[in-house]
Amino acid sequence: MNKNTSLDKAQRILQQLRDNFLDELPERCDAIEEGILALAEDREGEHFQRLFREVHSLKGSAGTHGIVAISTICHQLEDGLTTAQATAPHAPERIDLYLRYLDLIHRCIEIARDKRGNYAEIDQALEDIRRHSSPHQLSGLIVENSPAMIALYQGALADQPVQLAVEQDGMVALNRLLHERFDLLIMGAETRTLNGIGVLYALRAANGINRHIEVILVSSSQRQNFAKALAPDVLVPRGPEMIPRLATAVSGIVRRARSGGRRP
């Protein structure tokens, strides 16, 4: 068998595996739904662990089959589950929220079967869920290599009405920025795989949902040369003034968003 024939065969098998995955997905969704509904009575955290494993496993499988939208939904569901488990009980409105994520996964199955490949409505629905579940909060993404710096940022912004997600790898962050809506981005300059400047340029150049969000770049350099259209909105130098300047910059973004000014 020549190489092209062999590759064609491999692609056919991969397509069949993807179809099988989609066929079995409703059953996996049922298991997740049972897990979500059981959270209300989950005194020992046993249901939570099982549910988290199911969601995590689905995230990995969907990514392996190239269905990024389902991975993104699972990622957000994981974030929501983890946050609630650490800080608050899974109240009925949280359970409803988790079930909305599940509805989106069902919708992804339909889109994937349609072979339309257009998941834009899923991005919008994820954004709607976020705004509905946290109407007074903005959504921010911290992209920073150093755990110590991340802890500093989180501490400095703890009082701000901003829900912060964290990524340490530039490419992973860029992927999230292309598929999930954020209101602001806090970038360290040195991140793995793709550095902060690279993420910023790609974000501004791509015609994505976050193209115009406000970006705060934290850098050890006091001055940097940027093409005008690609410059960060705020450059915060590392140093003793870093934390207050970061807090001030984020306060400004929150104020503008609330006054109906530039909506990131």
Nearer to another protein, 9 or 258 (CB): 9
Least separation in angstroms between residue 105's CB and another protein is: 15
Least separation in angstroms between residue 87's CB and another protein is: 23
Q: Nearest-CA neighbor of 35 among 46, 24, 26? A: 46
Least separation in angstroms between residue 165's CB and another protein is: 15
Residue 21 found at the interface with another protein (CB under 8 A): yes
Nearer to another protein, 103 or 190 (CB): 190
Nearer to another protein, 54 or 214 (CB): 54
Size of the site for another protein (CB under 8 A): 24
Least separation in angstroms between residue 145's CB and another protein is: 6
Residues 89-128 that bind another protein (CB under 8 A): none
The binding track of 44-83 with respect to another protein, each residue x by CB under 8 A or -, is -------------x--xx-xxxx----x------------
Interatomic CA distance for residues 137 and 258, integer angstroms? 10
Nearer to another protein, 13 or 158 (CB): 13
- The C-alpha angle 124, 130, 135, rounded to 5 degrees, equals 120
Nearer to another protein, 61 or 251 (CB): 61
Residues 166-185 that bind another protein (CB under 8 A): 168-169, 172
Interatomic CA distance for residues 13 and 16, integer angstroms? 5
Nearer to another protein, 193 or 248 (CB): 193
| Maximum separation of any 2 CA atoms in the chain, in Å | 66
Q: Which of 133, 134, 145, 251 binds another protein (CB under 8 A)?
A: 145
Q: Nearest-CA neighbor of 212 among 238, 234, 184? A: 184
Sheet holding 234-237, edge to edge: 162-167, 138-143, 184-188, 214-219, 234-237
- Give contact residues for another protein (rule: CB under 8 A): 6-7, 9-11, 13-14, 17, 21, 57, 60-61, 63-66, 71, 145, 147, 168-169, 172, 192-193
